[in-house]
Each structure stands twice: as C-alpha cells, then as structure tokens.
Chains A and B, each alone.
Chain A
C-alpha cells in the first residue's frame, strides 16, 4: 500500500456524492418531478374513480350488502382506496426502471469511465444508483399517499402514523430489489433501445400479474401462481394492510416483509456481483 492511499477514506466514500448527483438532477428540476407525478395521479384519478365497482352490486336484493361484498373482495369497501395503493407499487416500478437507464447514459456520456478511473469502489457506483432510485420512490410514495387521501382514500381503522414508517420500509426493500434487477439488465448495454424494450417487456406483466388492480384470489389459477411469486404483490398487500385494511393479518404482513426482504437481498447480490464483473471488463 502506498502512503498516498488516504487512510481516513472509507470503503464507501463517494456514495453520497454519486447518490446526490442523481437526486440533484431531480430536485433541482421541479418541472421534471411534477411530470413524473402526473402519470400515477392520472391513473389514480381516472382509472381509480371510473372503475366504480361497488355500483355493480345491486342494492335492491335483500340480504346482499354491497359494503360486505366489497370488503370481502378488496379488503376495503372502496375500490379507489384499493387501486391507489397499487399506484404506489407501479410508480416504484417505473422510477426504478429509469434508474437502470441512467447507467447507460453515464456510459455513453463518458461519466462512467471517469468514475471508474477514480478510487471509488465498483460496488459504490452501483449502490448509489440503487439508493437514489429507492429514495426517489419513497418520496413519491409519500406524495401519492397524501394525494390519494385528498382524493378520498379511506384509511383503515387500525392505521397509525407508525404504519407509514413500515410502508416506507417495504417500499425501500422493493426498490432496492427492482433497481438492482434493472441495473443488472442494462449494465452491459451501450445503447438505449434494447434495455428499454426488455424493461417494458418486464414491467407490463409485472404490473398486471400482480394484485395492483385486482385481487389475486379472483384470478384464474395459472395467473394466481404468477401473482404469488411476484414481489410486487407482496408489497401491495403489505401496504394495503398497513394503510386501508381494518383488521390487519399480522402473519401475512410478516410473510410480505420476509418475501420482499429476501427478494431484495438476492437480486441486489446478483446485481452487484454482475455489475462488478462487467464494470471491470
């Protein structure tokens, strides 16, 4: 080791600088931020409000209670509340996808080479991308929840402010997993088109083959199998339990957290190992 190696330097130096570089582009451009928020709000406002599912249930048949049926199906008497939570997961899906794309840009603009020539650890380069995507998504989660409440989201009776922290925790885990996945997919690319196509191919089924818009238990069996391995379903379920459900199923909630946690750990490990290999070609 040389004397020029600053001993005070930790293995993680540069992580905040690189993360902040990503975040700065975003919080310094409020217009860009607003644009990314328009989509989930439109989905929520238009799809969530137009699909007035409780109106399907006839009210003039004795013994048929619309409220009970809705609660049995969606866990809440209001479809809008159900799908607003789905929007949280969907936003995370798209935000993390763009974090995957940003590494392609860094490569093409020469910034990646510049960073690779500095003593910043390869793992830090990847992790800063993951971290910035996770922080962004968590911020968007907060905004979406606030807007959803303003639009009429009905919070569950067991809701406390502490639940919000748990929502952020599971969103963090999901985003770490998803952005590691997308980065692993794009790390070798020198062009935008291929990863863009691949990610669109992943995103759409991941969104619909989950319980984001519709409860899994009403889906055909084969689809349920897919939904039940999709980490997005577990996240949606956890967020619903934490926000809108009246009686929380703690065993299921624990399973949700464990599943998403394991997903994040495995995919992040794979992502970082792969990236490490491709960053030192």
Chain B
C-alpha cells in the first residue's frame, strides 16, 4: 500500500458554471496521520470533503483514496472510508443502537458481526448505558460520539470528519478530541478533518492545510507553520529611560526588535532559551528589567500571515447555512 493515502491533484469544483468552490487544490495525506483542512466557513472545506467521499464529482483534476480514483472507482472508495458529518444525521426517533445498525445495513454488514462491532464501538464512545434510549434525549456531545461510532462501523481505513466539534461547548469539545485520538489509536486509521477552530487544528492535527477562497495557501505541521513565522514574541520593559534596541539586537537568535509604547517587542527564535540571554545582556550594562512576557505564536498568527486577515466566514449557500444552524441548535441539546 502506498504511503500516500489521499492524493489530490488539481482538484476543482465549480458550481453552476461560475462559482468556484475549490480551485486547483493539491495535497497528499500520509498513512496514519491526522490531516486538517483549516479555513473559515465557505472556504471550500466541505466541498473538498464531499468530493473525496464521492458525494460530489470534481469538475476538474483528480483525487484518489487508498489508490482508488474517486470518480472512476467510487464504490471501492465508499467501502474503505467512514464519514462523521458536520450535521447530526442520527435519527431522532430511533435509539442509539438502532442508528448504529442502520449504518451497518448501509454497508451490508451481517447483523451478527454488526452487533459485536456496535457494542464495542458504543463502549468506546461511552454510550453503552444509553444505547436503548432515543437519540432525541441525547446531549450534543453524546450525539457527536454516536456519529463517531456510526462512522466507524465498517472499520474504515480512512475516516473523514467534517467540523467534528461544531457548536459544542469548550469542555465537550476537548473531550471529543480525546475520543478522536483514542479511536485513531485503536483502529490505526488515517484521518482527514475540516475545522474552522484554530485551536482544534492545533490540538489534533499532525498536518494542516490552510484553505482560503478555495485555494490552499500553505501546508505544514502546526509547529512548522508557527516556527516559520519567525519565532516567539518577547515583550519587555526596563526601568531606565534609554533606548537599548541595539543591545538586544546583538543577542543571538534575536531577529527583530521594535520599541512600542515604552516596551520592546522582540521576535526571536527559541524564545524560552533566548530570553535569559537578553536579560543577562541588559543586566551586564546595568539595566533593570521591570516587566517580561513570552508568547508563542498560535495558528491565528499563521492564518493572519498567510491570508492577510483574521479568520472570518465567507458568504455561503442558503443550504450550508441552514444545516449549520440546525447542527448548532442540536449541539446545544435543542
């Protein structure tokens, strides 16, 4: 099996002949990694996922999942993938277990095998006690976990997660990340996910592609992307009323010094190692440091750097908007 589990070359989707949702996108996902598509709503993340899961046909370009062409060998692709959709697709009127069985029937899994798998999966997502309760009584977090269990019923080699924590509160979101990590470890899958939460991409993904207006602007591991920004940000102030910019600039690994509002904003590589040297250098000349802070760049700064603006939602179709509203409402247990 090739090491590249997903490979997209010039993948493009144009709706109604003029609306380019995904614009000549190239990327590859390696065996066993969590690959994230990060971007605002309406950037083309869901359209990309829908092409990879064979729901939409690409207008141009091609992509493969485990070597199967998504357009020509769509049924082979469907057999090896699992989907955890953005929406809550579980049937409200059915119980958790009945919903998992419905999913297993869609893959033609014999009931005997399905029963074993369903019990294991429900145990993994800690829904065993609620398996015979109707889904309408579930909380947002429980519904998310049920979707996870449904997406795994066919033992997929690649799992697609579309906005896996949309609308969940912070605590439930963090807990969901643990479930995702646990399931990945348990089944050794490759994960492809989309998100518009920067901290989610940072916490979960091995590699991230930032997507903006249907184009990938940069790909890399979160650490790599942050490092490429030019290091950490050190802010310090001294008691004396003199300009020490030149002095700080001479310290090794310092890349940039700016004086702003009586404080020095220093960009430096390896901030936690460089900071002591800066203090040392100032002390030697008799200066007293009165204030100091060290911040590591977040993906927010990365996003800002590459797109030139903070993450803001693009305009979306009525349909996408509607389904997002429903998801958010159900996440809050509505």
Contacts and interface: CB of A to CB of B under 8 A. Distances in A.
Contact of B102 (A1, A5, A17, A280): A17
Contacts of A109: 87-89, 323, 326
A115 to B, nearest CB: 6
B237 interface: no
Size band of the interface chain B makes with A = 35 or more
Contacts of A120: 106
* Interface of A, helix, strand, loop or mixed by DSSP: loop
A16 B105 CA distance: 9
A5 B74 CA distance: 12
Contact of A25 (B76, B80, B93, B105): B93
B280 to A, nearest CB: 58
Interface string A101-144: 00000011111011111111000000000000000000000000
B106 A25 contact: no
Contacts of B89: 109-111, 113-114
Interface stretch (A6-14, A52-60, A159-167): A6-14
A108 B102 contact: no
Given A14-B105, A109-B89, A117 B75 contact: no
Interface string B76-93: 101111010111110101
A108 B54 contact: no
B78 A28 contact: no
A281 B319 CA distance: 16
Given A24-B94, A190-B318, A281-B56, A119 B323 contact: no
B55 interface: yes
A21 interface: yes
Contacts of B317: 190
Interface string B38-54: 00000000000010011
A116 B54 contact: yes
B93 A110 contact: no
B27 interface: no
Contacts of A29: 93
A21 B102 contact: yes
A31 interface: no
A118 B84 CA distance: 12
A113 B93 contact: no
Contact of B83 (A4, A8, A117): A117
A2 interface: yes
Nearest to A124: B106
Nearest to B92: A25
Contact of B76 (A1, A8, A21): A1
Nearest to B91: A21
A128 B68 CA distance: 28
Interface residues of A, number: 35
A109 B109 CA distance: 24
B108 interface: yes
Contact of A118 (B78, B88, B323): B78
Contacts of B326: 108-109
Contacts, number: 100
A13 B105 contact: yes
B46 to A, nearest CB: 9
B36 to A, nearest CB: 19
B85 A6 contact: no
A108 B317 CA distance: 12
Contacts of B160: 117
Name the residue among B94, B101, B107 with the largest chain A CB count within 10 angstroms: B107
Interface in B171-223: none
Contacts of B56: 281
B83 to A, nearest CB: 5
A217 interface: no
Contacts of B94: 21, 24
B57 interface: yes
Contacts of A67: none
Interface string A57-76: 00000000000000000000
Contacts of B110: 8
A14 B83 contact: no
A13 to B, nearest CB: 4
B133 to A, nearest CB: 14
Nearest to B81: A117
A81 B317 CA distance: 51
A110 B87 contact: yes
Given A117-B53, A281-B56, A14 B323 contact: no
Nearest to A114: B89
A118 B322 contact: no
Nearest to B101: A17
A130 B318 CA distance: 28
A117 B323 contact: no
9 contacts: A2-B68, A2-B80, A6-B109, A9-B108, A17-B106, A18-B106, A24-B93, A113-B89, A190-B317
Interface of A: 1-2, 4-6, 8-10, 13-14, 16-18, 21, 24-25, 28-29, 107-111, 113-120, 190-191, 280-281
Interface of B: 50, 53-57, 68, 75-76, 78-81, 83, 85-89, 91, 93-94, 101-103, 105-110, 154, 160, 317-319, 322-323, 326-327
Given A9-B108, A25-B91, A119-B106, 7 more contacts: A4-B80, A14-B105, A17-B101, A109-B323, A113-B83, A116-B55, A118-B103
User: Across chains A and B, which 10 residue pairs bring their CB atoms closest together, nearest first?
Assistant: A110-B87, A17-B105, A13-B108, A9-B108, A117-B53, A118-B106, A190-B319, A119-B78, A116-B55, A117-B83
